[in-house]
């Protein structure tokens, strides 16, 4: 009877862990969709799946610890099964937490191939393997000492290299602004907005200041908050440029986008300085005169690019340093 009660408690605990994990991950996904930043969601998915796997292996571990003999670790099993399962389970975390690099590209490829569901399965396998690798001497399989020692050295070496690489990732792959292009663009009948009835569309002729920044090793945590209400990167004009435009122009960009391949990322920021409705149904924002537009164009580099990291650190780039003569 006692054994049945223990099994019931164990199953109830597993169900509770699964329910809490699902509820937590749903909340994380809502936050990710709202803030355009999936890292907390994929981290939570990896951690929860590993906890479930470890919980499944817990009875076996407790049974093993009750036995006699010296505790030892099956390093070969940990190396062959545990390490690949762990790397696959955190492939999403690596994809969104590290700057563009060969390792990040590989992690993204794995994450896309196995999908988020696949990383959950591998996380469960990883958690189970971590605890099931612990055994007592007389209960473990007879593995030659040479193989055990070699597997242990290789596992600890891999662990040390990974920890060192992740810790020094920003030093090994520093973020660098390599090119800046600034211009004034008139977008004729390209920006359409639906009217309140949801049927008719009005196309505005917009005059915009467009900045294009080419980065090397731009961290993925910067590429978040596509909503202007959650901006962490912006252009801050200096005195000459600020005096030529309205005060609120640079307070909020009209659009922002990322593109590029490999370790080079292109960031585009657009700021509207004029908007004309050809049909006359909306209030117009008259663009500056041609003379003022020319002055603005000549002063576009009189500004700073400001990047605010989640840790509170702020980095500034003087755009005059990137102006081509």
3-state class (DSSP) for residue 218: coil
Question: For residue 207, what is the enclosing H or E element?
Answer: strand 201-216
- For residue 102, with 0-12 CB atoms within 10 Å meaning exposed, 13-18 middle and 19 or more buried, which class applies? exposed
Residue whose structure tokens are 């590429």: 223
Query: What are the tens digits of pLDDT across the range 8-65?
Result: 888 898 899 999 988 888 888 887 777 666 778 888 889 999 999 999 999 888 888 8
Q: How confident is the model at residue 231 (pLDDT cuts 50, 70, 90)?
A: low
Both structure tokens of 280: 């006359």
Query: What are the tens digits of pLDDT across the range 173-220?
Result: 788 888 999 998 887 655 555 455 555 566 677 888 899 999 887 776
Contacts with 59 (C-beta within 8 Å, 6 or more apart), sequence order: 10
Contacts with 79 (C-beta within 8 Å, 6 or more apart), sequence order: 151, 154, 155, 158
226 touches 284 (CB < 8 A):
no
Q: What is the dihedral of CA 157, 162, 164, 166, to 10 degrees?
A: 180
Query: What are the tens digits of pLDDT across the range 106-146?
Result: 888 888 888 888 899 999 999 999 999 888 766 445 455 66
Question: What is the value of pTM for the model shown?
Answer: 0.66
CA distance 287 to 121: 56
């Amino acid at each position: 009877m006692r054994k049945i009660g223990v099994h019931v408690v164990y199953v109830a605990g597993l169900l509770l862990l699964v329910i809490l994990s699902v509820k937590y991950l749903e909340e994380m996904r809502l936050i990710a969709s709202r803030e355009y930043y999936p890292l907390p969601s994929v981290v939570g998915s990896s951690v929860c799946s590993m906890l479930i796997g470890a919980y499944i292996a817990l009875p076996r571990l407790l049974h093993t610890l009750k036995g006699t003999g010296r505790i030892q670790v099956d390093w070969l099993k940990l190396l062959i099964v545990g390490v690949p399962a762990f790397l696959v389970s955190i492939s999403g975390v690596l994809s969104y937490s590290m700057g563009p690099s060969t390792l990040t590209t590989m992690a993204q490829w794995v994450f896309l191939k196995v999908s988020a569901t696949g990383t959950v399965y591998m996380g469960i396998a990883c958690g189970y393997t971590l605890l099931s690798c612990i055994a007592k001497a007389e209960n473990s399989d007879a593995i030659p000492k040479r193989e055990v020692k070699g597997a242990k050295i290789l596992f600890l070496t891999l662990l040390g290299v990974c920890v060192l690489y992740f810790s020094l990732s920003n030093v090994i792959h520093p973020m660098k602004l390599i090119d800046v292009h600034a211009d004034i663009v008139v977008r004729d009948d390209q920006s359409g907005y639906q009217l309140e009835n949801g049927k008719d569309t009005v196309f505005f002729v917009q005059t915009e200041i467009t900045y294009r920044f080419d980065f090397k090793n731009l961290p993925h945590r910067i590429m978040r908050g596509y909503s202007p209400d959650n901006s962490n990167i912006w252009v801050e004009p200096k005195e000459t440029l600020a005096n030529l435009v309205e005060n609120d122009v640079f307070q909020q960009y009209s659009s922002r986008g990322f593109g590029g391949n490999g370790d080079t990322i292109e960031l585009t920021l657009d700021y509207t300085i004029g908007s004309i409705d050809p049909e006359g149904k909306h209030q117009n924002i008259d663009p500056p005169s041609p003379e003022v537009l020319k002055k603005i164009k000549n002063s576009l580099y009189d500004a700073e690019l400001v990047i605010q990291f989640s840790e509170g650190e702020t980095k500034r780039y003087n755009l005059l340093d990137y102006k081509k003569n």
